[in-house]
Amino acid sequence: DTGVSQDPRHKITKRGQNVTFRCDPISEHNRLYWYRQTLGQGPEFLTYFQNEAQLEKSRLLSDRFSAERPKGSFSTLEIQRTEQGDSAMYLCASSLNGYEQYFGPGTRLTVT
Amino acid sequence: KQEVTQIPAALSVPEGENLVLNCSFTDSAIYNLQWFRQDPGKGLTSLLLIQSSQREQTSGRLNASLDKSSGRSTLYIAASQPGDSATYLCAAQNFGNEKLTFGTGTRLTIIP
């Protein structure tokens, strides 16, 4: 099965530390999306890429957040100077030409 | 701005019953609507996608309908089973915008 994969699955960090998450999309998919989900809520859009170009960023993506997709393959999401409010599930999805989005298992971040 | 609502937030149903989950959206200019399943602490599994030109989609015991004029979609589950217990999320994608706007989900419990 070559679905969307994310690494790590769980991350516990202390406030003020930097963290980086990785997402590997389905191989032929040219679109990659990042969402954030807090407990009891639906996922909220953060940003998306078409190949290596970052085309849209939500206002939720503060300047402490940065995402990259070098060479249009895997993507990384970095959070600098983490805060307790960053604790959430970070979900990655991919699609072919913006059609159906397929999600990965997510990375659960806990900031202590 | 698209807003998606799912009511009720939780639903318990005896095994074997048929049930309907509801999803409403405020902006009828949707490109497609997706239904997802989420198990506790896990990522999202895509169940059905309905394009704006379609009225319904079926997969096994699942049937999803779309009525753009009333801003509603329903997910019908036939002959419910304990394994159907999960949170069900709907998400709308608008024309010209690739992000998905999610509802907060309905947590479904099937009672054996």
Q: Give A40-58 pLDDT, tens digit per residue.
A: 999 999 999 999 999 999 9
Q: What is the DSSP string of A9-29?
A: SEEEE-TT--EEEEEE--TT-
- Tokens 């399943």, residue located: B37
The pLDDT value given to residue B59 = 96
Distance from CA of B102 to the nearest CA of A (A): 5
- Integer distance in angstroms from the first to the last C-alpha of chain A? 35
Which residues of A have a CB under 8 Å from any CB of B?
A: 4, 6, 31, 33, 35, 40-45, 48, 55-56, 58, 91, 93, 95, 98-106, 108
Mean pLDDT value across residues B10-25: 97
Question: What is the phi-psi region of residue A98: left when phi exceeds 0, alpha when psi lies from -120 to 50, beta otherwise?
Answer: left
Residues of B in contact with A49 (CB under 8 A): none
Task: Label residues A61-83 b or e (16+ Cβ within 10 Å = b).
Answer: beeebebebeeeebbebebeebe
By DSSP bridging, strand B86-94 and strand B106-111 are antiparallel
Q: Is B105 on the interface with A (CB under 8 A)?
A: yes
The pLDDT value given to residue A1 = 53
CB contact under 8 A, A102 and B46: yes
Q: What is the mean pLDDT of chain B?
A: 96
CB contact under 8 A, B100 and A56: no
Q: What is the DSSP string of B66-109?
A: EETTTTEEEEEE-S--GGG-EEEEEEEEETT---EEE---EEEE
User: Which of A35, A40, A95 is closest, CB to CB, to B104?
Assistant: A40
Q: What is the pLDDT of residues B64-86, one digit of tens each?
A: 999 999 999 999 999 999 999 99
CB contact under 8 A, A100 and B34: yes
The pLDDT value given to residue A2 = 74
Q: Is B102 on the interface with A (CB under 8 A)?
A: yes
In this structure, are residues A98 and A31 in contact, taking their beta carbons and an 8 Å threshold? yes
Mean pLDDT value across residues A81-97: 96
Q: Which of B31, B101, B105 is nearest to A58 (CA)?
A: B101
